[in-house]
A and B are shown apart, each in its own frame.
Chain A
Amino acid sequence: MVELFRNIVNIISVAAIPLLIIVFLGWGFFKKVKVYEVFVEGAKDGFTVAIKIIPYLVAMLVAIGIFRASGAMDVVTTLLKPITNLIGMPAESLPMALMRPLSGSGSLGLMTEIMKVHGPDSFIGVLVSTMYGSSETTFYVLAVYFGAVGIKNFRHALPAGIIADIFGMLGAVFICRILFGV
């Protein structure tokens, strides 16, 4: 059952992009849209949007880079350890929970390293990969998406995003403890 579901989703992910392109362009052609001209007209914006993102992304990534390189993560981990111990979250997975919203490459590196040390099928290994899959890199997403339209005041998007991250991480701990618990 799970295998079937996985196969179906796999096929969709492989075929989706060519399928989308042909359906959208084909439908447009069928509807007598001047496909080539309209495509180029739309594609023009690609450059400006990408360039617009640069200052926002530089600001965000530099701050995160400084924070990561300084070893501040270790300090925060030590501070939070008593709380996470209470809910049965293994100490080794705490850096992952903290890194996930900040840095995609950082959390990828952490996940790889933890699996190398504890093994991918250990409880910790399953937990950190679930954590990785349970959230997106919140700070990156906010910087890119808001940057593209020049939004500087994020309002409640950041706290709400962080609340979502916290619950994603808690959900990962909860389900892993129930299914593969120690």
Chain B
Amino acid sequence: MLNYVWIGLIAIGILVAVGNDINDEVQNTYRNGVPLEATLTLQPVPSAMYSTWKGELTIPASAFNQFYGIRSQQTDVHQQVVVMTSNKGVTTLSLPVGSSTPEFWKKMADNAGQKDQLSADVRSLNFSGDHATAQASFVLEKVNYVKVRAVTKAALDYANTAVTISLGLIGIMALWLGVMKVAEEAGLLRILTKLLTPLTRRLFPEVPPDHPAVGAMIMNVAANMLGLNNAATPLGLKAMEELNKLNPKVGTATNAMCTFLVINTAGLTFIPATAIAVRAAAGSADPGIIIGTSIFGATCATIAGLIAVKVLQRLPWYKVEVEKSASGDTEANNG
């Protein structure tokens, strides 16, 4: 199943990206080569002494939206601009991306030659009588293959992110694995395990109730419920290590592992701290109002997940054949 999901995500992603880009090309979403009209206000009034002037481009919101066939621009466009005239008399515009730059242009700039500015070729400049303003007609630089570029960037960026996340775990892993080892040697985990035996025996019938894995799993679930994500992951990984010692078939998940991970992915916690923090930052009158609803949602997820895991593990599809000769790839047999 994982093989299908994995290749599915990649294949669908790349196909959709190519499709989107072909669509952009056909529709000319970014109006490559089409001149756009704007009012140009210059400061100071241009004279023959300079070849570079600063100014502002003004385009009414309706004209901007109509030009790009969008509806998202709410206010009239006021864009800072640098006008440059070369020795040969060719005039170009440079539009630095700033806070007043329309979102659509920001998106275009992300895919243009330089990330922080858009450039344009001027087709015509008709100055008014006092030379302070002009009607400009210009063509922005070509933007294309936006999604394929984004996919390339995402693939490289996410590969980096994965390493950053993993390396970030080293210190915290070491701390908790050290503490857990002491607790184990002192027999503390055994006491904890005994208390919850009635529950754990039902959830993990394959695991002996006094096995160190049970203690680590209890610690992990408790840490998750208290919202201690930093402690939960190392404890959970410790639990997986202990569970793997009971694994008859290397490289294949056991029933207990699946049950344990479903409890983890359901993410039951008493304080959804991140969501509350974001709500508070967004100016909510009552950021904590979602505590109750989140506990309800996560409880639904936990119960549904546990039922699913217990039903699915019986299916012949997910049966494990414990033979030393069967080397690894049961996915093929299962599929």
Interface residues on B, range: 35 or more
Contacts of B61 in A (CB 8 A): none
Contact present for A153 and B251 (CB under 8 Å): yes
Q: Give chain A nearest CB distance to B248 CB in angstroms.
A: 13
Q: Please report the C-alpha to C-alpha distance between residue A31 and residue B265 in the assembled complex, in whole angstroms.
A: 36
> What separation, in Å, do the CA atoms of A76 and B240 have in the docked complex?
34
Q: Kindly list chain A residues whose C-beta atoms are within 8 Å of the C-beta of B305.
A: 160-161, 163-164, 167
Within 8 A of A (CB), among B213-250: 223, 226-228, 230-231, 233-234, 236-237, 240-241, 243-244, 247, 250
Asked whether B293 lies within 8 Å of A64 as measured between CB atoms, the reply is no
Determine if B300 is an interface residue (Cβ-Cβ < 8 Å). yes
Residue from the set A27, A145, A146, A163 with the largest chain B CB neighbour count within 10 Å: A145
Known: A72-B16, A133-B290, A146-B240. A13 touches B227 (CB 8 A): yes
CB–CB B177/A168 < 8 A: no
Chain B nearest CB, measured from A133 CB (Å): 3
Q: Is the CB of B182 within 8 A of A35?
A: yes
Closest to A103 in B: B158
A13 B181 Cβ-Cβ under 8 A: no
The minimal Cβ–Cβ distance linking B297 to chain A, given in whole angstroms, is 3
When chains A and B are docked, how far (Å) is the Cα of A135 from the Cα of B268? 7
Check B13 against A135 for contact (C-beta < 8 Å).
no
How many residues of chain A get a CB closer than 8 Å to chain B's CBs? 104
B129-168: CB near A (< 8 Å → 1, else 0) gives: 0000000000000000001001101110111011101110
**Docked-complex contact A149 and B262, CB < 8 angstroms:** no
B250 and A69 form a contact (CB under 8 A): no
**Contact status A161-B185, CB under 8 Å:** no
A33 x B228 contact (CB < 8 A): no
How far is the CB of B163 from the nearest CB of chain A, in Å?
6
Given contacts A24-B188, A66-B10, A66-B151, contact A50 B166 (CB under 8 A): yes
Find out whether the CB atom of B273 lies under 8 angstroms from the CB atom of A13: yes
- A12 CB to closest chain B CB (Å) equals 6
A115 to chain B, nearest CB (A): 4
Alpha-carbon distance between A168 and B154 when the two chains are bound, in angstroms: 28
A2 beta carbon closer than 8 Å to chain B: yes
Q: Is the CB of B177 within 8 A of A144?
A: no
Asked if A28 and B158 sit within 8 Å, CB to CB, the answer is no
Mask of B288-306 contacts with A, CB within 8 angstroms, 1/0: 1111111011111111110
Is A82 among interface residues, defined by CB-CB distance under 8 A?
Answer: no
Within the assembled complex, what's the spacing in Å between the Cα atoms of A25 and B179? 7
Which residues does chain B contribute within 8 Å of A20, judged by CB atoms?
A: 179, 231
Residues of chain A with a CB closer than 8 A to B183's CB? 24, 27-28
Determine whether A108 belongs to the interface, using a CB cutoff of 8 Å to chain B.
yes
Q: A61-B161, A153-B331, A167-B300 are in contact. Are A108 and B278 (CB under 8 A)?
A: yes
B2 at the interface (CB under 8 A from A): yes
Whether A130 contacts B178 by the Cβ 8 Å rule is: no
Q: Are A138 and B300 in contact (CB under 8 A)?
A: no
Binding site for B on A (CB under 8 A): 2, 6, 9-10, 12-13, 16-17, 20-21, 24-25, 27-28, 30-31, 33, 35, 38-47, 49-51, 53-54, 57-72, 75, 101, 108, 111-112, 115-116, 119-121, 125-126, 129-138, 141-142, 144-146, 148-161, 163-172, 174-176, 179
The 15 listed contacts between A and B (C-beta, < 8 Å) are A42-B179, A62-B158, A67-B10, A69-B17, A69-B154, A120-B279, A132-B278, A135-B297, A145-B237, A152-B252, A153-B253, A160-B262, A160-B309, A168-B267, A172-B297
